[in-house]
Structure 1
Amino acid sequence: MTTSTRLSSKTKLAYGVGDLGAAIATAINGFFLLNFLINVAGLRPGIAGNVFLVAKIWDAVNDPIIGWLTDRTVSKFGRRRPWLLIGAIPFGLAFFLQWIVPPLNETGLFWYYLLIAILLDTAYTAVNVPYVSLTAELTQDYDERTRLSSVRMGFSILGGVLAAFFHGIIVSQFPQDPKLGYMVSAAVWAVTIAGPCFITFFGTKEPDFAINAKPAVEGPGFFEGLKIALSNKPFILVTTIYMLSWLAIQFAQNNLQLYTKDWIKMDMGLFSFLLLAIQFSSFIWVLIWAKVSEKIGKQNVYYLGAGFFVLALMGLFFLQPGQVVATFVLAVIAGIGISVGYLVPWSMVPDVVELDELETGQRREGVFYGFFVFLQKMGLAVGLFISGWALELSGYVNATPGLPDPVQPASALFAIRVLIGPASAVILLLSFLAVKAYPITREKHAEIKVELDKRKNNQPIPSTLLPEE
């Protein structure tokens, strides 16, 4: 089978299921971690935000380096798949340790959660960067990549649906001891996180050109490679789209539990069902948008989906306490937009990889995807940091486990509403500028593919297709 033909359903499913582990960790962290650190572990909101911002200093080095290393990995299994075996178990273990509350003071807790955050990010990177890099190697067909990304994102959102729903259900079984509830749930999900890595490893096969690829010992080194990647205009635009859309999603996710509990006054027994509504809507619309993009293009799909998300975010800002049904309606509408934040940027990156190959003669998926995974985690970290300090400065009152929730001051409630509404909406609207400027259409990608084929056959490349200096 050539890399330009359609992939088998078995390969697509085996690849797609591999995103479950990352999706479970991301969903639970996104919806529950801020509340856990503040109201269960007992950290002040600002200190909780600091933990994850500091951890990103290591991530700024960790993600691109592991991506670069996967580009230079040589084995009979390929460049990417061996990393899934190396990182799977450490990933699950670090996730479990994140949800334990050790008997330490606030300073000790800060250092504990910082260390675990670094370990978790490293293990996440070791699994997720090579995993997402496989997209560009399994197929080189423009529309097939969108279909492959839609299967992957379908599993990703499905994993988020199950994790977010059942995590809340499990924790709610321990109303008098939420620390134990979080630990029990984390143990369940830690085991679940590792399994998909093995399914992808055994269910897919890297093509011959990837298995036989030689490390670029004569080409650009790590720092020169990063310089080339960051000078690639389409890549900068795609990363801007992804970073802004993911940051908007994280603002909404990080603060949703606080918003529904402290502002809407929703019964927290309904919270898991609210998450189910969001994630199920996203799951359905990822599949719909994948089909629609084949008709109107990726950029237009992004405009439409993100427009729904903006409307939902602004609607949440204007809701009043007690409007539970309206909250559920807006959650379903938000899912329509969240789905394009998952689907569109990820389906654009493989096209950027091939534009880079046209310029450098090398396939360096690991470098590009390393930055992408870094931005995903950076979005979560920045969201937690800004949310934490916004709550700290607005006077948010920490809850005490086992006791009734405290009444929050008006300033804290307003801060939560701004974070989940206008702040997220403005960030998302800024991403439209990058989408408008993104230059690789279906027609442009077809031209790039033709010229890459010519290069493989030792034919000259027209200068009009080479990226500008």
Structure 2
Amino acid sequence: MLLLPYLTNTMGVAAGVAALLVLLPKAWDVVLNPIVGRISDRTQTRWGARRPYLLFAGITVTVLFILIFAAPLGAEPGAGYFVAAMFLLTATAFAFFQVPYVAMPAEMTDSYSERTRLMTWRVALLATSILVAGAGAPYILDAMGGGIPGHRWMAVFVGAIMLAGTLIVFYSTAKAPVGQVTASEPSLRAQLRVAAANKPFRVLVVCFVAQSTGVACMLAGVRYFAVYVMDDLGATTWLFLIVVSPALFTTPIWRRVGERYGKLRGYVLASITLTAATFALTAAPLLPDFGVYAIIALIGFGYAGQQLFGLAMLPDCIAYDTRRTGKRQAGVFTGVWTAGETLGLALGPGIYAFVLELFEYVSTNTGVFLPQTSLAENGVLLGFTLVPAFIVGIALVLLRGYDLEEDQLATA
């Protein structure tokens, strides 16, 4: 939400170049994450296989994230490359946190329904922290005068949340069940072949990549949309609050939908809601503010369900593989999963930035949003609405190939 505007409006980086600076460091994780997964699968410590990575990688991510926005070179022409370098290192450290973290639920329980309950808590708490960070960061940025000083204070604020989260997850999982190192495929290539042969997992990954890309495209455009469509930079906080907060209240509703109708049907319903609402937002220039916020809330409702069911179905795919093969490879599966999710989160801002470049958006190093042509303003709108709606809609077609249900896990 903040990195792309930081590059185009504070560092003075052209939108097309900013797209590459945002995309390439995260694309590196696509290669790295499966490797991290294999490493964590084979790790043996008194803290378990996953938890050491949570602690050390989490602390490292905190420091590197702050450095992204430290701007020691000011707004000089080469400053954007410093940002990209720090972003690359942050993405690398985050891979060592994220992959073990996502692998843990599959090793905590064998229950098909309990995994959904676990993910309900995860999505709700994730939404809470995203809400605090996502709404608080723009507020602090603007309150501290914007520009480089504002970004530095914002980074310290978010970094403190990262550090707290790291310590909480490390210490609170001290007594959680952990997986044991068992036989696995002899090489990473062989493990990746096994993951690719798992059809439900393969379909789920592709769907989640598409939806992560679309949602990330929208998040990258929040501040631009607030300024050039709603004519109010202060609307950034409200837009973010309204799109994230539904997860706090509606995730239990989605859980009950999953328990009654199945996770797959719940995922399809959430995806339809997310896609339709995003398409509807294209009419934003013609709507009053409350109409825009109502559609944003509906997007948040669909997004909460999409997150819950995607994360709840992932451990099912891993458990299905473990029961079928008798081998422990959760790390590789989650490595591929997080690689796909990371690719989507990188592609989203990159796509939005390329749309801005295509519609001739003018960058600046003043730290403010310059007046733009009507062509550029149209690019801001379409990149925030029509483009992500098309992307997230792809998952609706792909989900037809998912066929893993509870009875298959019971007989695997």
Normalising by structure 2, we get a TM-score of: 0.94
- CA distance change for structure 1 residues 258 and 137 in 2, over 3 Å: closer, same or farther? same
Question: Could you say what the CA RMSD is over the residues aligned between the two structures, in angstroms?
Answer: 1.9
Shift of 1:162: 0.7
CA distance in 2, matches of 1:402, 1:70: 42
Q: How does 1:173-212 map to 2 (within 5 A)?
A: 173-175=143-145, 177-205=146-174, 210=179
For residues 413-454 of structure 1, give each alpha carbon's deviation from its aligned partner in whole angstroms, at most 9, with x where no partner exists. 222222222221222221112222211112222222xxxxxx
Question: What is the SS of the residue equivalent to 2:282?
Answer: helix
Shift of 1:409: 1.7
Matched, 1:343 2:303: no
Farther-moved stretch of structure 1 (80-89 vs 129-138): 80-89
Structure number with bigger Rg: 1
Shift of 1:395: 0.6
Matched, 1:44 2:14: yes
- CA distance change for structure 1 residues 282 and 381 in 2, over 3 Å: closer, same or farther? same
CA distance in 2, matches of 1:178, 1:316: 30
For residues 117-167 of structure 1, give each alpha carbon's deviation from its aligned partner in whole angstroms, at most 9, with x where no partner exists. 111111111111111111101111000000001101111111111111111
Matched, 1:284 2:249: yes
Which structure 2 segments of 5+ residues have no match? none
CA distance in 2, matches of 1:426, 1:387: 13
Corresponding position of 1:120: 90
Q: How does 1:252-401 map to 2 (within 5 A)?
A: 252-265=218-231, 267-320=232-285, 323-401=288-366
- CA distance change for structure 1 residues 171 and 130 in 2, over 3 Å: closer, same or farther? same
Farther-moved stretch of structure 1 (128-137 vs 387-396): 387-396
Shift of 1:401: 2.6
CA distance in 1, matches of 2:280, 2:177: 51
Corresponding position of 2:393: 429
Corresponding position of 1:168: 138
Shift of 1:244: 1.0
CA distance in 1, matches of 2:409, 2:76: 53
Question: What is the SS of the residue equivalent to 1:162?
Answer: helix
Corresponding position of 2:208: 242
Corresponding position of 2:42: 72
CA distance in 2, matches of 1:126, 1:232: 24
Shift of 1:215: 5.2
- CA distance change for structure 1 residues 199 and 209 in 2, over 3 Å: closer, same or farther? closer
Farther-moved stretch of structure 1 (103-112 vs 373-382): 103-112
Shift of 1:359: 3.8
Shift of 1:179: 1.5
CA distance in 1, matches of 2:121, 2:175: 18
- Residue 277 of structure 1 contacts residue 331 of structure 1 at CA under 8 Å; is this kept in 2? yes
Give the share of equivalent positions with the same residue, in percent.
Answer: 26
- CA distance change for structure 1 residues 49 and 209 in 2, over 3 Å: closer, same or farther? closer
For residues 97-126 of structure 1, give each alpha carbon's deviation from its aligned partner in whole angstroms, at most 9, with x where no partner exists. 111223267652232122111111111111
Question: What is the SS of the residue equivalent to 2:150?
Answer: helix
- Residue 285 of structure 1 contacts residue 335 of structure 1 at CA under 8 Å; is this kept in 2? no
- CA distance change for structure 1 residues 65 and 407 in 2, over 3 Å: closer, same or farther? same
CA distance in 2, matches of 1:335, 1:60: 27
Paired residues, what number? 412
Paired AA for residue 131 in structure 1 = Y
Corresponding position of 2:181: 214
CA distance in 2, matches of 1:135, 1:413: 44
Q: Which has the higher contact order (CA 8 A, sep 6+)?
A: 2
Shift of 1:400: 4.7
- Residue 55 of structure 1 contacts residue 118 of structure 1 at CA under 8 Å; is this kept in 2? yes
Matched, 1:103 2:73: yes
CA distance in 1, matches of 2:167, 2:88: 23
For residues 298-330 of structure 1, give each alpha carbon's deviation from its aligned partner in whole angstroms, at most 9, with x where no partner exists. 121122222222232122211216732222111
Paired AA for residue 261 in structure 1 = V
Shift of 1:297: 0.9
Paired AA for residue 214 in structure 1 = V
Corresponding position of 1:24: none
Paired AA for residue 274 in structure 2 = F
CA distance in 2, matches of 1:315, 1:299: 24
CA distance in 1, matches of 2:25, 2:241: 30
